[in-house]
Amino acid sequence: MSELGVGKEVVTHCSKCSHDLAHIIEVMADTTTPLRVKCKTCGASHKFKVKKAAKAKSTRARKPRVSSEQKLMNLWEAGIAKSKGETSKYNIKTKFNIGEIVDHPKFGLGVVEKALDANKIEVIFKTVSKVLMHNK
Ligand SMILES: [Zn+2]
């Protein structure tokens, strides 16, 4: 990499042109970092933006990916949070409404996500969503 300095060229992002373009350095922040640059394309001078690309590359592997399980858990947590702690024991004869919290003997607490038909509801449990019979 060539040395940077006032009057030298540097390729950086121009927000006016929306591209990475050659800029002339007007002011240096320190010996290696430009402070103000002037776009050779549109002539606007603006602050030099430090590139984040190099940093992002090294941390990319550790970036957490939101899995479908995590999404389910988020939905579940949001549903539980909205319920004010009221739960109903799951029973095939009971009619459940959307948003209600079901206490299932096998799956634990679940949030009624939607009614599929008169006798079927989709319930989100912490790690799995299930279609349950109800209102029989
Ligand atoms: Zn420009």
For the chain, what are the domain ranges? 9-61, 68-133
- pLDDT tens, residue by residue, 54-101: 444 555 555 667 788 888 999 999 999 988 778 999 999 999 999 999
Distance 4 CA to ligand 1 centre (A): 19
Contact 1, 10 (CB under 8 A): no
Distance 102 CA to ligand 1 centre (A): 58
Contact 34, 10 (CB under 8 A): yes
- pLDDT tens, residue by residue, 28-53: 999 888 999 999 999 999 999 876 55
Model confidence pTM above 0.95: no
Distance 133 CA to ligand 1 centre (A): 62
Distance 82 CA to ligand 1 centre (A): 49
Residue 124 CB neighbour total at 10 angstroms = 26
Contact 109, 87 (CB under 8 A): yes
